[in-house]
């Protein structure tokens, strides 16, 4: 059973029920401060079905305590040793974002990659990423990694919004990594810009090899739309083996669409780009998430302007010019407002696409939030839909939910969702993991907590499975040429790497129902 | 490269290759279209422009004055060429600082 040693609250009963659960994770270590702010960051599964979960919570001494779980072992209290700077052994505030699993070609060992941001390491504003060894059994196990930051005027601040940075993507051979950052500057143009960075492996070290920026102009804001590394099938060179897709959006250009940029071919290669957007109303505070598998890109747009969530399946740029294959718009049937949060989709080996988003619904005199998790088949038809709500004994409308990341088990029979929630009718934030069967069979009620432990704990979750809960329709997506947008080439020497090692030690954690 | 989208047999537009394949699984891009489906050539979209006050500069950065949105026009059939095409119009809007995402 995943998360084997921990107690969890099960959905339903009978055969197989142990595989479908909800768990609350409490980083209540001796160093914890308020137990009321627990943040979920990401989840991944390796080929041995180990489940990796990451998050952070507040510390008594201030700042945040990052934690990391491999199935039943906790690693927390990460310390960043910036070995390139003798004056600095600093533990900053670590903000995770997403975990990714990759298996190095020809190796039996999986690697779990994550990315994120470190604060409190002034004057730089780095993003960091790290690779973790699969065997995390030793108390003083070392997590290899590195950090990088943009060493170029006028960038003097960092953003930490939505998917920015969104973890670090690694190619299947681990020869290429790609990450992004979003930086703000108050020295010249008061703009938010996006920087995409590629790292290549030399021996055992990674170095910045290529970067691409988007700077929107005076007083404007750009947002990352995600990255993707696509294996081309070549085995000629690092640069020919993968296409690099970068996304960015800016509400002022091309209807707020996402500009997708591809770098391909040998050397530093050739470049092309297209722009995509759902053509329904004005995209206001639209948030795009790019991912892909095989020959297809998948682009999600959550548009708070009209409370809509869209998914577009796109051909890879090389052979079919990035044409749209199909596009859909999805609502929770009966929703009455803002959807709020979504995750990057995950795609299984049959090209089914799992996606999730939150929604608002009315219950009596209050509006409450729920989460639907649904699956499109390869043709764009919804054939699974789970609906997750909190029990009505929590009557306060303050029950926002924050899905962070989806992950499929290696055998693809279980779907995991890492998410946060205002679970007790206040802004106290709990960190949760949900596991459901991909065949749609999981349903039931699961109660976490007895009220005797630290808040947040009194939570009853209700999970139902019914495809009629998701209303889906063909969505008018537009593919246009990228215009009015200037992609800048950032020279590698404008970035600076910080060689860093991270260490972690085991600690106490509470997980489950008691 | 020519950007082709489709109109289904009921006149719904736009539709894409996957929508055709959902009804006609054996159809592939490049094959003759199934009966009563139509291909529409989409014109390249015009550039959209953001305008700033004339006195804005790096030393005096100011928010934009206007920005532009693209509007998809209805497909039209050219009887001479036998081709459906779709153009674009541009709508200029006053700048209102878009909400921050995140």
Q: How many CB atoms lie within 10 A of CB B59?
A: 6
* pLDDT band of A274, cuts 50, 70, 90: very high
B101 falls within a domain = no
CB–CB of A38/A29 below 8 Å? Answer: no
Mean pLDDT of the region A423-449: 86
Mean pLDDT of the region B67-91: 92
A223-231, strands of its sheet edge to edge: A223-231, A242-249, A258-264, A270-278, A477-481
What distance in Å separates the CA atoms of residue A299 and residue A283, rounded to the nearest whole number? 15
What distance in Å separates the CA atoms of residue A496 and residue A149, rounded to the nearest whole number? 6
pTM for the structure as a whole: 0.90
Chain B: give the shortest CA distance to residue A314, in Å. 10
What distance in Å separates the CA atoms of residue B11 and residue B23, rounded to the nearest whole number? 15
Q: What is the DSSP string of A434-479?
A: EEEETTS---EEEEE--SSSSSS--EEEEEEE-GGGEEEEE--EEE
In the prediction, which pLDDT does A484 show? 64
Mean pLDDT of the region A462-491: 84
Higher local confidence (pLDDT), A310 or A207? A310
**Is-cis flag, bond preceding A123, omega within 30?**
yes
What distance in Å separates the CA atoms of residue B73 and residue A254, rounded to the nearest whole number? 15
Residue A81: is its pLDDT beyond 70?
no
Q: Is residue B90 within 8 angstroms of chain A, CB to CB?
A: no
Q: Which residues of B touch A483 (CB under 8 A)?
A: 45-48
Structure tokens at A310: 């869209």
CB contact under 8 A, B62 and A161: no
**pLDDT tens-digit series, residues B34-67:** 999 999 999 988 888 889 999 988 788 888 898 8
Phi, psi of A321 (to 5 degrees): 60, 25
CB contact under 8 A, B102 and A327: no
Count of domains in chain B?
A: 1
Q: Pick from A223, A255, A323: which is nearest to B17 by CB?
A: A323
Q: Which residues of B touch A327 (CB under 8 A)?
A: 16
CB contact under 8 A, A323 and B70: no
Q: Which residues make Cβ contacts (< 8 Å) with residue A375, sequence separation at least 6?
A: A352, A353, A354, A355, A382, A383, A384, A385, A438
CB contact under 8 A, A484 and B47: yes
Q: Is residue B55 within 8 angstroms of chain A, CB to CB?
A: no
CB contact under 8 A, B50 and A327: no
- In three-state secondary structure terms, A402 is strand
Provide the mean pLDDT of chain A: 77
Residue (of A337, A346, A350) closest to A311 by Cα position:
A346
Higher local confidence (pLDDT), A157 or A471? A471
* pLDDT band of A243, cuts 50, 70, 90: very high
In the prediction, which pLDDT does A16 show? 46
In the prediction, which pLDDT does A398 show? 72
Q: For B93, name the nearest residue in chain A, comparing CA atoms only.
A: A252
B100 falls within a domain = no
Mean pLDDT of the region A161-188: 76
Q: Compute the Cα dihedral for A14, A19, A23, A28 and give only its sign.
A: positive
Q: Is residue B17 within 8 angstroms of chain A, CB to CB?
A: yes
In the prediction, which pLDDT does A505 show? 47
Residue A118: is its pLDDT beyond 70?
no
Q: Pick from A190, A327, A483: which is nearest to B61 by CB?
A: A190
B99 falls within a domain = no
Q: Which of A142-151, A274-283, A314-323 has the lowest mean pLDDT?
A: A142-151
Residue A483: is its pLDDT beyond 70?
no
Q: Which of A59-68, A129-138, A457-466 has the lowest mean pLDDT?
A: A129-138
B102 falls within a domain = no
Chain A: give the shortest CA distance to residue B43, in Å. 9
In the prediction, which pLDDT does A82 show? 39
Q: Pick from B50, B70, B95: which is nearest to A255 by CB?
A: B70
What distance in Å separates the CA atoms of residue A45 and residue A64, rounded to the nearest whole number? 25
* pLDDT band of A482, cuts 50, 70, 90: confident
Vertex A280, ends A278 and A285: CA angle to 5°? 70
Residue A179: is its pLDDT beyond 70?
yes
Q: Which residues make Cβ contacts (< 8 Å) with residue A14, sequence separation at least 6?
A: none
CB–CB of A114/A70 below 8 Å? Answer: no
CB–CB of A469/B33 below 8 Å? Answer: no
- In three-state secondary structure terms, B71 is strand
Q: Which residues of A touch B27 (CB under 8 A)?
A: none
Q: Which residues of A touch B15 (CB under 8 A)?
A: 474
CATH of domain A9-511: 2.130.10.10
Domain, as residue range, for B10: 3-94
Number of Cβ pairs < 8 A linking chain A and chain B: 114
């Amino acid at each position: 059973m995943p998360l084997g040693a921990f107690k969890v609250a099960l959905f339903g009963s009978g055969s197989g029920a142990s595989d479908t659960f909800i768990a609350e994770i409490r980083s209540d270590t001796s160093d914890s401060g308020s137990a009321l702010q627990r943040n979920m960051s990401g989840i991944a599964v390796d080929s041995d079905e180990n489940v990796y979960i990451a998050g952070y919570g507040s510390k008594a001494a201030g700042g945040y305590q990052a934690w990391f779980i491999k199935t039943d072992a906790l690693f927390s209290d990460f310390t960043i040793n910036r070995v390139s700077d003798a004056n600095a052994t600093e533990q900053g505030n670590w903000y995770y974002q997403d975990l990714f699993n990759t298996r190095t070609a020809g190796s039996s060992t999986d690697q779990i990659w994550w990315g994120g941001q470190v604060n409190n390491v002034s004057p730089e504003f780095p993003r960091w990423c790290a690779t973790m060894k699969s065997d995390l059994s030793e108390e003083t196990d070392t997590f290899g990694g590195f950090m990088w930051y943009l060493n170029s005027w006028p960038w003097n601040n960092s953003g930490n919004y939505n998917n920015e940075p969104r973890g670090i993507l690694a190619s299947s051979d681990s020869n290429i990594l790609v990450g992004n950052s979003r930086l703000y500057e108050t020295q010249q143009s008061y703009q938010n810009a996006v920087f995409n960075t590629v790292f290549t492996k030399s021996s055992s070290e990674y170095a910045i090899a290529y970067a691409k920026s988007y700077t929107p102009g005076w007083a404007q804001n750009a947002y990352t739309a995600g990255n993707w590394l696509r294996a081309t099938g070549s085995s000629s060179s690092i640069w020919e083996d993968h296409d690099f897709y970068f996304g960015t959006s800016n509400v002022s250009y091309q209807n707020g669409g996402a500009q997708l940029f591809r770098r391909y071919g040998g050397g530093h290669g050739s470049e092309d780009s297209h722009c995509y957007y759902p053509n329904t109303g004005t995209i206001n505070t639209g948030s795009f998430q790019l991912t892909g598998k095989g020959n297809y890109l998948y682009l999600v747009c959550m548009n708070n302007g009209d409370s809509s969530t869209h998914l577009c399946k796109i051909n890879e740029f090389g052979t079919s010019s990035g044409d749209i294959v199909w596009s859909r718009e999805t609502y929770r049937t009966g929703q009455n407002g803002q959807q709020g949060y979504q995750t990057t989709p995950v795609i299984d080996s049959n090209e089914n696409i799992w996606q999730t988003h939150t929604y608002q619904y009315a219950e009596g005199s209050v509006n409450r939030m729920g989460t639907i998790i649904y699956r499109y088949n390869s043709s764009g038809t919804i054939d699974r839909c789970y609906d997750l709500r909190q029990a009505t004994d929590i009557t306060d409308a303050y029950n926002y939910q924050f899905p962070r990341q989806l992950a499929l088990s290696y055998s693809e029979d279980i779907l995991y969702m890492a998410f946060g929630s205002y679970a007790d009718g206040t802004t106290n934030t709990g960190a949760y993991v949900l596991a459901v069967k991909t065949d749609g069979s999981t349903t039931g009620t699961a109660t976490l907590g007895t009220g005797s432990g630290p808040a947040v704990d009194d939570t009853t979750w209700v999970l139902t499975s019914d495809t009629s809960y998701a209303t889906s329709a063909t969505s008018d997506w537009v593919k246009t040429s990228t215009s009015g947008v200037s992609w800048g080439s950032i020279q590698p020497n404008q970035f600076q790497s910080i060689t860093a090692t991270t260490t972690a030690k085991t600690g106490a954690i509470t997980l489950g129902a008691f | 490269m020519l950007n082709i989208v489709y109109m289904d047999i009921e006149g719904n537009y736009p539709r894409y290759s996957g929508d055709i394949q959902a009804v006609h699984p054996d159809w592939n891009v490049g094959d003759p279209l199934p009966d009563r489906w139509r291909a529409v050539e989409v014109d390249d979209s015009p550039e959209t422009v953001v305008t700033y006050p004339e006195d804005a500069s790096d030393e005096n950065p100011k928010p934009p004055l206007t920005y532009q949105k693209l509007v998809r026009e209805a497909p039209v059939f050219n009887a001479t060429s036998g081709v459906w095409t779709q153009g674009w119009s541009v709508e200029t809007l006053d700048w209102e600082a878009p909400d921050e995402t995140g």
